[in-house]
Every structure is written in structure tokens, then in C-alpha cells.
Amino acid sequence: MTTGRAEPAAVDRVAIAGPSDLALLRNRDSLIRELVARRKTVLCIAPSFDADRRRALNLMGAETVAFDPPPGRIRLLDDWQRRKSLAELLADWKPDALLGFGLPMMIEALLAAKRARVPRRVALINGPLESIAADGKPVPTRHLVQALSSIDAAIAHNPHLAHQARALAGPKNSATWTVVPGAGVDVSHHTVAPLPPIEGGLVFLMIAPLDTRHGVLDFADAARQIRAHGRRARFQLVATPSLAADAISRDDLAPYAGDLEILDPVDDVRPLLAACHVYVCPSRAEGMPRTVLEALAAGRPVITTNTPGCREAIDERVNGCLVPPRDAGALTLAIESVLKRPDLIPSQSRASRRKAERRFDVRDVNRTLLDALGIL
């Protein structure tokens, strides 16, 4: 007996549009591998591709295409031309489903996918809704509303983001909405790293874009205060460039040169996590920081802020501690508390790993993403 309903079309071709090649490689590698293992054809779209990252994605079995048309002189015409070009790209490739993440690229991809009549469109909201485009200008709220009105499913990295986005989408939005614990972490790839010796001093690590939203200057201030007190500790900052309105340069960190080690970005953070004792993330607004989840999986205590997307990673004084955002003094006190009781680090290390396995396994996140894409 039939119900008269048409069976949903099979999803065999999936396009994933992200803000950068690094975001695709680091944050969606597990999803890409899962799609390829299920014999799906995958296209990764980003503004540009470094040769090594393109090769890595190709080796996973994904196709790649760079999409970053040159800006025009008028923003409105430029936006229209970008979407037209991306829509033509999608119409030519013919995906059955598209997943867009990273706010500016997500908006562009979803609107282009609607124009190209991509059958299934999924929004992955993985960061604050106040964002900027590649030209350094704020993303208009109306564009986000238009994009959300065109989707079949939405996935947010924390409940606060889901609430904000649903309010923008309005009561008539018929998409399914789901919250996942960030991008998750592959606990088989990010294994426990033995704690390094403490004789040379504890190492505190932060990995973040160079802007004030991520708390870079708060970390630098805390490092200077602690070093001024004669504490034996090292502070390492892995700094990636930022397009944010509150971006800072390496020159802005010059006053902290004697207290802060500034390291270049890396594709594989595992050696850095293995060499530190504590991970620090003083961010003021997040979806859910991937580096925090990787630190948990490596078995590192975490000091982070009591903000949505960060607080979920911490059981207070069990695997780390929470501090108020925008408060370098509180961050300094939290780091001081670790320096006074380094004997607690091993137990907190074990608790971090347990939490990663129990709460943030990427396989659980991927199941939700696959379901949203229409892949059972």
C-alpha cells in the first residue's frame, strides 16, 4: 500500500562551502571522509586554496573549487555578481545538497544555491551572527534573513546561536533546527598527549585570530602580569590573521615581546597541544571553539570564558575553569591558581579527555549533519 507521498530524492552529490581552505580541512575533514566513504561525490568551495590544502582535500576524495570574484566598485552590484557567479558554478556542478558555514560564505552559498535550484540547502551556524564580509564590511542582517528563509535545515553550534538565528528567520520559517556541540573532535585522531615535564615552567597555549573578540590582548596582558611577578611560565600565541573590525596586528603585540611567544599558524595543532600544560581561550563570543575541543581530546585543562559556546566545555575546577569575558585580571588570577597547584593538572587532564569522549565526539556531530543533508 502506498501513501501517495513522493520518496525523497537520493543525495549523491554534496557541495560544502566554507570561509577558507583551512576551515574546510580542519573543521569538516571528518564529515568529508564520511561522505566519501558513503560513495558521495563531494565539492569543497572556498575563496582560495593553498596547494597543500587542496592536495589534502583531493586525497580525501573531494573536488575543490576556489570562488572569490574580484570586488566591484559598488557593494550592491558586487553582491549580486558574486551570487550570480556562484549560482552558475552550482548549476553546472548540480549538487543534490549544499552545506554552508562561516557566516559571509554561508549566506552567499545559500542564496546562490536557491538561485541554482539546489534541492536541499543546509545552514551551519558556527559563529557569532555579527560578522564581516571579505571586503571588511559588516554583513547586512537582511542578507542573513534572506538566506535563512531559503533553507531546509539549520544546525547551530550552541543554543544561544540557535535562538538568535531562529528569531531572525521568523515564525514562518519551516526549516528543522538542531543544536550540536560545535564541530566535534575526532578522538581517534586527537589522542591523549602525555603531559610535558614542569621543571622548565608551565606552558600556556592560545590559538586564535588576531582580534580583540578572541581575547588576544587579554591573554597578552595576563602573560605580562604573571611574568612581572617572577613566575616561571611560558605563554605561546599561535596567531592567524583576522578580517574583523577589531583586528590587531603583530605590531600591536610588540609591547609584550618579552612575555609572549608568537608562533605562526599550523595545519596540525597536535604537536603544539602536546607541548603545553594548559590551553587558554579568553574569547568574548564564539560558536564553540574547535581548538578547545582539540585541547580536551589531548587531555589538557582549559581556561576559558563564561560565554555561550565556551562554558559548555568546562566542568568548573574539574577540567579547567571559567572567567568573565573582557577581564584580563580574572584571567590572570585563573592562571595564577594553576601555577600554585600544578599537582592538579594530571587529574584535570584526565577529566578533559573523558569529557571530549563523552560529549564532543565528531561521529555524533556527523550523524546530525548527514541527517540534515538528507543522507540516512
Q: What is the pLDDT at residue 71?
A: 52
Q: What is the pLDDT at residue 8?
A: 60
Q: What is the pLDDT at residue 92?
A: 98
Instruction: Assess contact for 99 and 80: CB atoms under 8 A.
Output: no
pLDDT at 79 over 80: no
Distance of alpha carbon 205 from alpha carbon 236, whole angstroms: 5
Q: What is the pLDDT at residue 271?
A: 98
Least-confidence region, from 84-88, 170-174, 253-257: 170-174
pLDDT at 259 over 90: yes
Q: At 353, phi and psi to the nearest 5?
A: -60, -45
Least-confidence region, from 126-130, 340-344, 361-365: 126-130
Q: What is the pLDDT at residue 376?
A: 78
346 forms beta bridges with: none
Q: What is the pLDDT at residue 63?
A: 98
Q: Which amino acid is at 186?
A: D
In the chain, alpha helices (H)? 21-27, 29-37, 51-60, 75-93, 103-115, 141-148, 159-169, 216-228, 270-274, 290-298, 328-340, 345-359, 362-372
In sequence order, which residues have a C-beta less than 8 Å from that of residue 68 and are 6 or more positions away? 47, 48, 134
The number of residues making up the chain comes to 376
In sequence order, which residues have a C-beta less than 8 Å from that of residue 289 and are 6 or more positions away? 182, 281, 283, 304, 309, 310, 313
- Give the residue from 60, 121, 126, 97 showing the smallest Cα distance to 287: 126
361 forms beta bridges with: 185
Cell of 5: 507521498
pLDDT in tens, 196-209: 999 889 999 999 99
pLDDT at 349 over 90: yes
Distance of alpha carbon 271 from alpha carbon 36, whole angstroms: 28
Least-confidence region, from 2-16, 139-153, 189-203, 272-286: 2-16
Residue 243's pLDDT band (cuts 50, 70, 90):
confident
Distance of alpha carbon 103 from alpha carbon 126, whole angstroms: 8
- Give the residue from 112, 366, 333 showing the smallest Cα distance to 226: 333
pLDDT at 7 over 70: no
Region for residue 69 given its phi and psi (left: phi exceeds 0; alpha: psi -120 to 50; beta: otherwise): beta
pLDDT at 327 over 50: yes
pLDDT at 5 over 60: no
Least-confidence region, from 62-76, 121-135, 147-161: 62-76
pLDDT mean over 60-82? 72
Q: What is the pLDDT at residue 69?
A: 58
Distances (CA, A) of 349 to 13, 31, 195, 334, 345: 41, 27, 8, 16, 6
**How is the chain split into domains, by residue range?**
13-184+362-372, 202-359
pLDDT in tens, 106-118: 999 999 999 999 9
Distance of alpha carbon 230 from alpha carbon 250, whole angstroms: 25
- This prediction has a pTM of 0.91
pLDDT mean over 328-356? 98
Residue 74's pLDDT band (cuts 50, 70, 90):
very low
Cell of 6: 513522493
- Give the residue from 311, 299, 55, 61 showing the smallest Cα distance to 187: 299
Q: What is the pLDDT at residue 73?
A: 44
The domain made up of 13-184+362-372 has a fold known as: Rossmann fold (3.40.50)
pLDDT mean over 273-299? 97
| CATH 1.10.260.40 is right for the domain spanning 202-359 | no
Instruction: Assess contact for 263 and 239: CB atoms under 8 A.
Output: yes
Tell me if domain 13-184+362-372 and domain 202-359 are identical in fold.
yes
pLDDT in tens, 137-174: 566 788 899 999 989 999 999 999 999 999 999 888 89
